[in-house]
Structure 1
Amino acid sequence: MLRLTGCILKSIGLAFFLLIAACRNESDTAWQDASRSAMTPPTAISRSLHEPRIFLTPQQARQLSSRDGWPAMVSSLLEVPAAMAYGEYRWQDVLHSSPGGSGAVMVRVDLDRQIISVFRGGEEIGTAVILHGVDEYPTPRGSFPVIAMMRDHVSATYDSAPMPFTLRLTNDGVSIHGSDVQAGLGTHGCIGIPSEFAKRLFAVIHVGDVVHIV
């Protein structure tokens, strides 16, 4: 049984995408092993703005864009050499001169792999382990524009649970927001992300930017 704590509950680890594993010169077996290693407790969270990047060939970009929810043409990805643990994230936005940056922001959430990817101008600028809805409260799949942004939101439904840097996706309250991302937790349908990552995402996204949940 997963433990429900406000709107903040369930997580497993993840390997990135098998297609991306090939780009990183890793075998499928190695990435499956890395997926299991993500069940270990979290290590230090990466806050580096200088993470290594993988620059895709046009053929790789076309292959990736044919997958569900990926941008039309991805130029580069953050290099993540092993599966991230709970609470970990990567963020690198030095390719843009200001938080407003250039290019629209697009977010992809992979529920099966429990990972979020943030793209701007065809470049992945952030990725993190997520929490998502438990079986009784599944996170909806589909494409959702951000309809509201609330920096210091507190839940009116779940015992005043803090939901910092909320990005509202649906009229019935499904949102992306900062959470305490830990093993064994899930949500009532929201997407929980590390609070520091949520702060960075909040700074670059705008109402109307699209989140693809697959």
Structure 2
Amino acid sequence: MPGLLNNRTMLGATFVGLAGIAAAMLVVGPPKDDAVKPAAVQASKPSAAGVAPSAKVAIAPAPAASPAAPADERFVIKRILPINGPIKYGEWHWDDKNVPDGPIVMTVDLDARVISVFKGGYEIGASAVLLGSDDKPTPLGVFPITEKQVKHESNLYDAEMPYMQRLTNDGITLHATKVAWGYVSHGCVGMPLDFAKKVFETTHVGDKVYITRGKMVGLGASLTS
């Protein structure tokens, strides 16, 4: 997930050269600003018969850079939960009181080993999570939720996965599990049971989970950039 810039620690210019082949070059009206004004160069070029007719070459100004599109306000971070110190394994936080309705985005930071839940840009939940091992790592990328089941048993690992939310077709999910030091998953994002229940009740199929490694963002940043 993008990390959060607070005290939570677990978390060219173009140059245009114009040259004449003849020995004489006359610069007409030198521009004051190459980026916005045209430059005109009058030069002599020998013809096939050895006569040097004059030729005028005009260079169009470089187009102005298009302004960046404004960020979608629904995905701009407006609040970060006031959590002091690192989030310990098994610890979670939730506060959606008075938060206006908005799209749900979840972020997972593999370095911080923390998941955050945002609603309309307001962080409403955060928890330490269990992640994959070196042999079966949790993948990086953007993953929409494709399926949800309150009660699910993995046919790959013969294990119960309460409040399962599928991210990939090869078995990567969000689900409840024991989140403790020394445990790893098979690539899934494991959450404490009560926190996983709240996340499950908040999300919808199609909501996206952004999994990153060490990406730092803060207030005013876009969750989707």
| TM-score of the two chains, using structure 1 as the length reference | 0.66
8 Å CA contact 2:75–2:120 kept in 1: the answer is no
Q: What letter is aligned with 1:172?
A: D
The answer to whether residue 5 in structure 2 is matched with residue 19 in structure 1 is: yes
Match of 1:124 in 2: 123
Report the 3-state secondary structure (helix = DSSP H, G, I; strand = E; otherwise coil) of the residue aligned with 1:77.
coil
- What is the aligned partner in structure 2 of residue 62 from structure 1? none
The amino acid across from 1:138 in the alignment is P
Offset of residue 179 of structure 1: 0.6
Kindly provide the amino acid, as one letter, of the partner of residue 189 in structure 2. Answer: I
After superposition, the C-alpha distances for 1:122-155 in whole angstroms (9 at most, x for unaligned) are 1000000001110000111000100000101111
Structure 1: 4+ residue segments shifted above 4 A: none
Relative to the length of structure 2, the TM-score reads: 0.63
Determine the C-alpha separation between the residues in 2 that align with 1:122 and 1:135: 32
The C-alpha deviation readout for 1:82-107, integer Å capped at 9, x for no partner, is 112111100011124xxxx6101000
Selected match of 2:90 from 87, 90, 98: 87
| Matched position secondary structure for 1:196 | helix
Residue matched to 1:105: 104
CA distance in 2, matches of 1:199, 1:18: 24
Q: Distance in 2 between matches of 1:17 and 1:211?
A: 14
Q: Which residue of 2 aligns with 1:77?
A: 80
Partner Cα distance (1:80, 1:169) in 2: 28
Tell me the percent identity.
41
Q: CA deviation at 1:193?
A: 0.6
> Quick check: 1:210 aligned with 2:213?
no
- What is the number of residues matched between the two proteins? 150
Q: Please name the residue that 2:177 is paired with.
A: 179
- Report the structure, 1 or 2, having the larger helix content: 1
Query: Residue type of the partner of 1:130?
Result: V
Uncovered stretches (5+) of structure 1, i.e. residues with no partner: 1-15, 22-30, 39-65
Return the alpha-carbon distance in structure 2 between the equivalents of residues 72 and 167 of structure 1.
Answer: 21
Structure 2: gaps of 5 or more residues: 12-70, 213-225
Q: What residue is the counterpart of 1:195 in the other structure?
A: 193
**Deviation (angstroms), 1:72:** 4.0
> Residue 138 of structure 1 aligns with which residue?
137
SS at 1:197 equivalent: helix
Report the CA distance shift for 1:18/1:163 in structure 2 as closer, same or farther (over 3 A). closer
RMSD, aligned CA: 2.1
- 2: CA distance, partners of 1:167 / 1:109: 14
Structure number with bigger Rg: 2
Q: Which has the higher contact order (CA 8 A, sep 6+)?
A: 1
Letter in 2 for 1:132: L
